[in-house]
Chains A and B, each alone.
Chain A
């Protein structure tokens, strides 16, 4: 009886535990750790950028509140002061049952760092929602949370549920309508487990590889090309500790998700939840800014639309999606087209045409202005006769009369465009100079707004005023601002993520390219699978050949790299130790053996000797001797045993036959030299001689030429033995 009672109480307490569940928590990353919104994000954090006149973070917070989240931790890093100030002054600081806490960091450079910091703070006590502050959604979290919890009960390794949504990428650009690259996901249709996540699929390849073990483990897999990652994740606490354990995880998807999928030791699993009717999207680039703005205006995100979110400020929605604040001064002859938002206190002059655009608060727009598909933020002055097509114009910009913005232009804060000046398409204009250190490099992408901005802002506040007056004439007479140059290589890409729609000529070109590509790919495909079409044994041969070709190629690259390293070492007088280190690093990265290193270094040395000026064989010999003397240590550090030494001799032979025939005559001398310098031991030379003994006549040329030397070595050895 007593035992029973005990059991009963235990059950009650369990129930209570469940009843007194932890409040639902969310982590909101108010930093994208990316540079896609530069130059705007140099001056203002991305989450505070207005989206149809309301800062992005407000949409996110409003959704979280409505979805039942009770505690939000806003992680701010770049411009953290601005974010904190904004949140403190906003409605969010005083909501009942919805607490917003900020966590500030100054040295986080990635989402990984942020989560590690949050883990240290020890504020998360259960499952939480992980999103970034630029996510729009109106989905209900109930179902996904429930699914996640149920899975967790059955399997403690199910630590994350990703929200996905159907969105088929364009067949031509292979881009989703949000401007993100196509994404391939393999999902088990029954369990919804995510098996493979490929967002950076190589375009050049015509196929997607699925690991055989995946197929062996799952009788049915659905490979999706028509889903979009909403970047809304329901995570368990373990996610935070995982980030702490794996200190090299930076990016949520690239490192964390892929890391978990690849790593089968821990057995952590990620699942997906597909939403069908609700909205969820993340502003990742200018194109998604454009798309999502349009979605909001067309009320896909209902109830998170401007007229409801703003509440008191009385925005009226008229027919055809025309949003207008109450006190807009509008000329009679001005024409406001469909799907357009006009903010409070904005004045619009005669015969001005605005369509599919957002105009913020307190703007002054002159007469005969054409605005199409553009986003004009607050307090912007646009004088008469300006034309704007598919541009983003930040706060305080002044466009002098007759200025033209071609599609895709971004004007950052307070830029002034001179009279009649035409800003070329896809330009990014800012009062700040482009940071000189460029982060086109993948790794540096995280080194975002944070480090650079501090200095830049300082400069802005300090002496930028004088700076500007002297140098910034790039925007015509009276214009102020720098036109940022586009990084090398990125030029072609600019149109892909711009606010402007993709121009038709690009599409046509892309399509032609694609057809051509496909032509090739089909051919490749045929080559690849031809092996499968033939008999099994020929198949094997084929793949072996492929492998060989690959490794040969690799070796070629490796050799070139080593040569370049060596030449640099010679010209810049790099210390031998450092050169050894560098070559070693190359060896590791190309997965070569030290035999290969020895061969490659020797090759580089001899090549250098041949290429340095010389007039006779003896001079060449001297060159070689000099180089060998100087760099013998480098070479020796890769000669650990006889095999490697033999490789050097073989390499030398090969060179004498092919690339550096001049050495042919000097073969015995150089061999002797190498022996004298103790680079080659006599054993190595003798073994080489032995090996060559049985070779073809043609192969024995060099053996013959160095016969005397070999003979001498042999005798010396015998003498040694005699002693």
Chain B
């Protein structure tokens, strides 16, 4: 397909402490008992996009991730692991691995995307329009689809920063305006030039940039090289390309063309032009072409590039795991409504229980639950809407509601865990009560303690 995929897997994220640590970098954070990165890689494999570069922040994390990938995706994926320093931003990471990019088009996916939108469809849209950039847009997730509907509402008012303001053409194919970050708080400024060319622009605030982009490699590399202040794809590179789509900067096209010519060894520059003309004629001209045709209808006097949008259907699932709340939501959704994301675990019932579970008598595991393999639960326990990892030992009379328990966790008798995340190797002694808590890996909660809304973690040695 001549598409290279860059997965920006990240590594450390302050937002997710104490869930992630040196041993468990973000890409390997278990979500419904699978590392986060699995979801992206799985979708890519499904779309037959197999030429991957996984970019991880930090050398150690890269080693961890690399060994996991080589274990899990032995066949089918050609994965290159690239380690980049931390805090250089998404654009910086791409700049750092720029020399690895060789294909005509590059698909850049964020490693924390849990979605069932086929990346192949985004790539196809990109190719169809011969676009400079194509961004995948999805409906703004309503966090807490079932139970915590009210908290979702609160979320909205609390951090509208999650939203984008997006301008689309009437056919919803082209991206005409995009505002991210702090710009959303201000009045929107819409370029008249683009409005003149298109006639009408739909401004949506209910769409979210899902951080999956297809770029034309030459354009991407140009921008990265020439705008060395750009740090983020989402906030700098994409808005820049959208903004300048009707006024492609000379350097952008000029140099890239020269470069292309150089690559092709001057073999067929004319053919290329011809090809693009034929392509352009084949479809009805977009406003870009109309705009560049003016005034006499013949000469392409203005340089333009196309920015496309792929809008995921509102029924598709698409969430980025970039906060604790998102982590909880995704765990719940993946075991519940969006269980098709775990394609290979087939289950007739509405909960997913690993092979050979050991459940004590009178223990109930409710719907939307997951129980990893090798975990044991004692008598008279209740598990509701929770995920329990592998090889956990859970005593008797334990109640686990709306929580995530990772691997190798020991829970003593009579514990009550509500709305909490318990990381791997944690030991909860008898009669511990946790409500809305985060317990970091390896932590030991002593007998009879009660915590509410706290974050418990081992001190870093």
Contact = CB atoms under 8 A, between A and B. Distances in A.
B203 A220 contact: yes
B189 A208 contact: yes
Given A209-B187, A532-B239, A533-B239, A223 B201 contact: yes
A521 B193 CA distance: 10
B242 to A, nearest CB: 10
Contacts of A218: 205
Contact of A207 (B192, B206, B244): B192
A208 B235 contact: no
A172 B188 CA distance: 25
Contacts of A518: 193, 247
A36 B291 CA distance: 33
B243 A525 contact: yes
A259 interface: no
A212 B182 contact: no
A220 B160 CA distance: 16
A210 B197 CA distance: 19
B134 to A, nearest CB: 21
B199 A224 contact: yes
B195 interface: yes
A215 B195 contact: no
A171 B197 CA distance: 7
B388 to A, nearest CB: 38
B205 A533 contact: no
Given A171-B294, A226-B199, A533-B235, A210 B187 contact: yes
Contacts of B189: 207-210, 528
Contact of B190 (A171, A208, A219, A532): A208
B317 interface: no
Contact of B231 (A221, A535, A539): A535
Nearest to A525: B243
A189 interface: yes
A534 interface: yes
Contacts of B191: 206-207, 525
A133 to B, nearest CB: 31
A174 B201 contact: no
A558 to B, nearest CB: 26
B229 A532 contact: no
Contacts of B247: 518, 522
A212 B236 CA distance: 21
A212 B295 CA distance: 36
Contacts of B193: 206, 518, 521
A442 B296 CA distance: 37
Given A222-B202, A536-B182, A529 B243 contact: yes
Nearest to B206: A219
Nearest to B290: A171
Given A168-B199, A219-B206, A210 B190 contact: yes
B200 to A, nearest CB: 5
Given A532-B181, A536-B182, A511 B295 contact: yes
Interface string A564-592: 00000000000000000000000000000
Interface string A201-235: 10001111111100110111111111100000000
Nearest to A540: B182
A219 B204 CA distance: 5
A211 B188 CA distance: 6
A37 interface: no
Interface in B183-219: 183-193, 195-206
A580 B334 CA distance: 73
A215 B188 contact: yes
A507 B227 CA distance: 36
A435 B80 CA distance: 81
Given A212-B185, A219-B206, A533-B236, A205 B192 contact: yes
A184 interface: yes
Contacts of B197: 171
Contact of B205 (A182, A219, A539): A219
B239 to A, nearest CB: 7
Given A220-B203, A225-B196, A227-B200, 14 more contacts: A171-B294, A209-B188, A209-B189, A215-B165, A215-B203, A220-B202, A220-B205, A222-B200, A222-B203, A223-B190, A225-B192, A511-B295, A522-B244, A533-B227
29 contacts: A168-B199, A171-B197, A171-B294, A182-B196, A186-B203, A206-B191, A206-B193, A207-B189, A207-B191, A208-B192, A209-B188, A209-B189, A210-B189, A211-B187, A212-B188, A220-B202, A220-B203, A223-B203, A225-B192, A225-B201, A226-B199, A511-B295, A522-B244, A529-B240, A532-B182, A532-B183, A533-B227, A533-B235, A534-B229
Interface of B: 160, 165, 167, 181-193, 195-206, 227, 229-231, 235-236, 239-240, 243-244, 247, 291, 294-295
